[in-house]
């Protein structure tokens, strides 16, 4: 239960911050923030289905593959396991952000999704479970649905 709640709080916080930053950048006089009631289909797709698929792919398959990769282990350079795992989390987060550029080619999208990928990866690493990454991702998407 604790990993789910930690992820949910992190995701909501990230969603609110990203929403406010997007509004400040795109409409500096504050006309873009609102409260919207999304459709059930949008909530199910964006806050349930997509986070399950993306978390399973990125935080499970890619994170594990990168962790087992000998290519990322620079010979003699990274001796600390914690530093190596941090590098793996950063790389998978950047890949996560880069793949979201297919939807929108802008720096805001990249930094928002890459930072999300890094946060979700750190949560998964810390709790040794996909649950906090999934809940953070789901609540982040839900916050964006409601606020933007």
Per-domain residue ranges of the chain: 2-147
pTM of the full predicted structure? Answer: 0.83
Give the single-character DSSP code of 106: S
The span from the CA of 110 to the CA of 98, in Å, is: 6
Instruction: Write out pLDDT tens, residues 6-63.
Output: 999 889 888 888 887 877 777 656 555 566 777 888 888 888 999 999 999 888 888 8
Residue located via tokens 């990322």: 72
Residue located via tokens 């978390």: 55
């Amino acid at each position: 239960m604790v990993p789910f709640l930690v992820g949910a709080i992190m995701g909501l916080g990230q969603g609110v911050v990203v929403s406010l930053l997007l509004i400040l950048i795109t409409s500096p006089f504050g006309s873009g923030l609102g409260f919207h009631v999304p459709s059930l289909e949008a909530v199910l797709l964006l806050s349930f289905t997509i986070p399950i698929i993306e978390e399973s792919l990125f935080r499970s398959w890619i994170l594990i593959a990168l962790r087992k990769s000998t290519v990322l282990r620079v010979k003699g350079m990274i001796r600390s396991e914690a530093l190596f795992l941090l590098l793996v989390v950063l790389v998978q987060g950047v890949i996560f952000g880069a793949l979201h550029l297919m939807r929108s080619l802008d720096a805001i999208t990249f930094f928002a999704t890459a930072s999300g990928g890094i946060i979700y990866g750190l949560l998964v690493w810390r709790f040794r479970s996909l649950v906090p990454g999934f809940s953070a991702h789901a609540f982040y998407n839900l916050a964006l649905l409601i606020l933007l």
